[in-house]
A and B are shown apart, each in its own frame.
Chain A
C-alpha cells in the first residue's frame, strides 16, 4: 500500500531562516512519482515539483530545493531564507506510475514570523 508521512504538523520560523519539511513515503512500486504542493490560506493547492523514482538528482528552484533519497524513502523540501509569503500548508504526495491517484501526506503548516 502507498503511504506518505509528514511527521511535522506545524513549524514556525523567523523570516530569513532556512527550514526543511520532511516527507517519508512507502510504496512497493519500482516506478512512482513524488510531488510537493503548497496550500496558502486562500485554499488552492499550488504545484511545486514532480520527481520520478528514477531521478535522484536534487533540484533547486530559487529559494526552494528538494532532496530525494531513495535509500531512505524520503523527499525533503528546503526553503532557504524564508519569507512571510511562504506561510502555508505544504503537502507531499505519491502517485503510482499507471494511475492518477495521489496519496497525500497530512501536510505541514509553516508559519514564517516577520
Chain B
C-alpha cells in the first residue's frame, strides 16, 4: 500500500498571503488529521476530518481551515500568513478512532 503523501514538500510564502496544502491518505483510511510542528511548540493538533466532516479541532485561530473530499483526500488552508506560521505541517491518516496514525513526509512552510 502506498503511504500518506503530501504536496508540496516545500513552500515559501510572504506575510499576508494564503496557502493550501494537500494530503492523500493511505487507501481505505477515512480519517485525516493535521499537525503543526515547530521547534518551540512541538507537535500540535490542528484538526481531524472523517467522511468529509471536521470531527475534532485544536486550538488554532480561524485562519487555519481544512476540508476533506469524498475520496478522503484532504486540504489545509492558511490565510493571511504570519511569520509564526513557518513550520512543518504533517498530515496523518488512520483507519479508525484511536488507531495508530500514519504520517506523511510533511510540507515545510516558510513565511518571509
Residues of A within 8 A of B (CB): 32-33, 35, 37, 42-47, 50, 52, 91, 95-107
* A102 / chain B contacts, CB cutoff of 8 Å: 33, 35, 43, 45, 92, 101
Q: Are B98 and A98 in contact (CB under 8 A)?
A: yes
B75 at the interface (CB under 8 A from A): no
* A35 / chain B contacts, CB cutoff of 8 Å: 100-101
* A46 / chain B contacts, CB cutoff of 8 Å: 103
Residues of B within 8 A of A (CB): 31, 33, 35, 42-45, 48, 50, 55-56, 58, 88, 90, 92, 94, 97-106
Q: Are B33 and A44 in contact (CB under 8 A)?
A: no
Binding site secondary structure of chain B = strand
- Bound CA span A105–B105, Å: 19
Of the A-B pairs whose beta carbons lie under 8 Å apart in the complex, a sample of 23, sorted by A's number, is A33-B98, A35-B100, A43-B88, A44-B105, A45-B90, A45-B103, A47-B100, A47-B102, A50-B99, A50-B100, A91-B43, A96-B98, A97-B98, A98-B98, A100-B31, A100-B48, A100-B99, A100-B101, A101-B48, A102-B45, A103-B45, A105-B42, A106-B42
A105 closest partner in B (C-beta)? B42
- Bound CA span A67–B100, Å: 18
B47 closest partner in A (C-beta)? A101
- Bound CA span A32–B50, Å: 20
Contact of B97 among A43, A91, A97, A105 (CB under 8 A): A97
- Bound CA span A32–B98, Å: 8
Q: Are B105 and A99 in contact (CB under 8 A)?
A: no
Q: Are B103 and A100 in contact (CB under 8 A)?
A: no
Q: Are A100 and B97 in contact (CB under 8 A)?
A: yes
- Bound CA span A82–B104, Å: 26
- Bound CA span A69–B45, Å: 26
B96 closest partner in A (C-beta)? A100
In the complex with contacts A33-B98, A97-B97, A99-B97, A44-B42 CB distance below 8 A: no
Q: Are B100 and A98 in contact (CB under 8 A)?
A: no
